[in-house]
Structure 1
Amino acid sequence: MSGFSAEKQVIKEFYEQLDCSETGAEHKVLSEYYSSNHIWRGFHPFDEIRGPQAVADTFWTPLRASLTQLQRRQDVFMAGANEMDDFSSVWVVSMGHLMGLFDTPWLGIAPTGKLAFLRYCEFNRVEDGKITETAMYFDVPHLMLQAGLQPFPPQTAAQLVQPGPMTHEGLMLDPQPPEEGEQTLAAINAMISDLGQWNSGLSLEDELRRTWCEDMLWWGPTGIGATYTIERYAKQHAGPFRASFTDRSKTKHLCRMAEGHFGGFFGWPNFTARPTGGFMGMPATDKPGEFRVIDIYRRAGDKLAENWIFIDLLHFWKQQGVDILGRMQQVPRT
């Protein structure tokens, strides 16, 4: 196996060119690396964008004009064949933070003039040396908090700037043993099978123990937060989430892959569910909502040890009739 070296090299060169380009010249870089019919999927309010010029004008140029001196700080870099199309396509994944000086408004959020982080995870499909599809998911509410705003009521878990893997092995620039990636993908699939049932007959904690390490770390998005150990994860997220929703659809992913001890997936959306109990401190609406999610995992032994999660909560709540972003744009920073 090549270890996806050619595909990784495309993305490495793309990032190098994009990250050092002058603000306003992003379209030139994207036009060089994106296919002409490129599809870009991003969190609310960006949604689906087509073509390199539109992606540059709508997302990258405004972001880089706002977070000046933008620096990419990667924690995971990997590539793999996509299980969802019988391993026929190759995707390269980058996860970490985009860091800059928050100097001008972005999405109506007032700047601070201070250092700021935008959590991100990006899946890029590479074909014949070109990027043909992108899923770029990012935690806008986390940036809101850094700007002194409170987009959500107090969350069930902890709000943190999220670190990379405990093992510091996430940057896989060199090929990894294929059997390691196969084992990671098997662990992820076993977890998905359990997660999609919600009726295993076991206690939630015992169900989680089938596929998770006892000292698991779940790095959730702003509005839910991070939690540690099976017992606290069940108490602070999984239990409340299951109690809050019904009619969960089957899981649908556009990409699911793994390399080495890491793997992940994304959907558009991953699933839908109907809130019938309070969620994130807000009342139930009884309206079905979409969950656009990226999950990145680290495996230890035969179980999952860490999980970084990106959920488009702005999109979910907009479907419920609550415009979090619009509301925050009208609130002065204290």
Structure 2
Amino acid sequence: MRRLAEASPQTIDGALADIYAPDALWRGSHPLNEVRGPDAIAATVWRPMMESFPDIERRDTILMGGTYQGNALVGAVGHLCGTFRRDWLTIPATGRPVYLRYGEFHQVVDGRITCSTVLFDILDVMRQAGFWPLPPSLGTEEQWPCPISADGILLCEQDAAESARALELTLAMQVSLGKYDDTQAKGRDGLLVMPQKEFWHPKMMWYGPAGIGTTRGLQGFVDYHQLPFRDAFPNRRGGNHYVRIGDGKYSATGGWPSVYARHAGGNFLGTSPTGRDVQMRVMDFYLADEGLIRENWVPLDIIHLLLQMDVDVFARMQSFFRRGQL
């Protein structure tokens, strides 16, 4: 992946052909979505990005691996950093450095990638470009930090028992979330005392996508994300994972999509209930500490979710930047 980031628009085709299988699937955040084969990946994803950010570089903060359902998988969290020289995905260039946040999983067969799932936080690039299409985030908008333990780049085999414990902790926490009945209307107090509290570290950090932001502690998690989210999407269905891996203290899950829900309540991201069925492209990366979950990084395709709720943030952006033009 670093070789790809360090390539140029002229050499990216060859770099992709060396790394990807000929019929590899690349799937990512809206409006990139799904393409197949190195040529299409170059034309849709990498070449436009390199033309917009000509000095782009890759900065991983988590790099981990594992096997799920017989598939070898590599996961990563980090930022692509570059100077925003030319418009990207119609987002106006600023001439300033931009940090493009990503979460990704790659399935590898015989040394080549056969499927990549990559969630870029494109909404956060809009924010950095000076436009915000939504109400203020409840959480804190910031660049995601590296793990507090500063050991997220795992380049050697980890202890198998520790890896299993980390994944077991994550899955148990996710089960506790799924069992909670939102329709009982217990509100904030119910979320604070539900079984999830047995899994989160007192100093937990929850790093959400642009639009939601970062929260700290169970109380912050409930107030600034969980309560409004669960009000909007009561008793949603999760799982549907293509990845569940543990690697030392780290664990990760993800689905395409991994959540099915109905937008039935609340005022999530400033949008009144639409009654529409929606799907969510979500990844979760976790760090275990003292037998509890200390940190949780959550790439989520907010733009794709909002589009299903009849909110087109690209149209809002265009009406702001292009107004008055013929």
Same fold (TM over 0.5): yes
Say which of 231, 251, 258 aligns to 1:263.
251
The aligned length equals 316
Matched, 1:24 2:13: no
**Is the Cα contact below 8 Å between 1:75 and 1:96 reproduced in 2?**
yes
In structure 2, stretches of 5+ residues that fail to align are none
Say which of 32, 44, 47 aligns to 1:58.
44
Aligned counterpart, 1:306: 295
Aligned counterpart, 2:197: 209
Moved more, 19-28 or 255-264: 19-28
Aligned counterpart, 1:12: none
Aligned counterpart, 1:218: 206
Give runs of aligned pairs for residues 188-199 of structure 1, distance below 5 A: 188-199=170-181
Give runs of aligned pairs for residues 44-193 of structure 1, distance below 5 A: 44-82=30-68, 85=69, 88-193=70-175
Question: Cα offset for 1:75?
Answer: 0.3
In structure 1, stretches of 5+ residues that fail to align are 1-14
Question: Cα offset for 1:32?
Answer: 1.3
Paired with 1:264 and 1:196, the residues of 2 have a C-alpha distance of: 17
Question: Cα offset for 1:333?
Answer: 8.7
Moved more, 281-290 or 140-149: 281-290
Moved more, 151-160 or 244-253: 244-253
Deviations 1:224-271 (A, max 9, x none): 111000111111111121112235124211111110111112111111
Paired with 2:42 and 2:177, the residues of 1 have a C-alpha distance of: 37
Amino acid at match of 2:250: F
Moved more, 15-24 or 55-64: 15-24
Aligned counterpart, 2:222: 234
**Is the Cα contact below 8 Å between 1:139 and 1:222 reproduced in 2?**
yes
Say which of 233, 243, 258 aligns to 1:245.
233
Question: Cα offset for 1:99?
Answer: 0.2
Aligned counterpart, 1:288: 277
Deviations 1:111-155 (A, max 9, x none): 000010000011111111111111111100111010000121111
Deviations 1:254-290 (A, max 9, x none): 1111101111121111111112221012211110111
Deviations 1:34-79 (A, max 9, x none): 1111111101001111111101110011011111210111100111
Paired with 1:229 and 1:16, the residues of 2 have a C-alpha distance of: 34
Paired with 2:157 and 2:84, the residues of 1 have a C-alpha distance of: 37
Q: Normalization by structure 2: what TM-score?
A: 0.93
Deviations 1:134-186 (A, max 9, x none): 11111001110100001211111111111110110101112211111111110
Paired with 1:24 and 1:301, the residues of 2 have a C-alpha distance of: 48
Paired with 1:302 and 1:239, the residues of 2 have a C-alpha distance of: 25
Amino acid at match of 1:305: R
Aligned counterpart, 1:328: 317
Deviations 1:69-117 (A, max 9, x none): 10111100111111xx2xx111011210000000000000000000100
Paired with 1:217 and 1:184, the residues of 2 have a C-alpha distance of: 17
Amino acid at match of 2:308: Q
Aligned CA distance change for structure 1 residues 227 and 250 (closer, same or farther; 3 Å):
closer
Q: Secondary structure at the match of 2:4?
A: helix
Q: Normalization by structure 1: what TM-score?
A: 0.91
Question: Cα offset for 1:301?
Answer: 2.1
Say which of 24, 30, 41 aligns to 1:38.
24
Question: Cα offset for 1:325?
Answer: 1.8
Off by >4 Å, runs of 4+ in structure 1: none
Deviations 1:178-237 (A, max 9, x none): 111111110111011111122399931232212111211000011011100011111111
Aligned counterpart, 1:7: none
**Is the Cα contact below 8 Å between 1:208 and 1:230 reproduced in 2?**
no
Paired with 1:286 and 1:214, the residues of 2 have a C-alpha distance of: 36
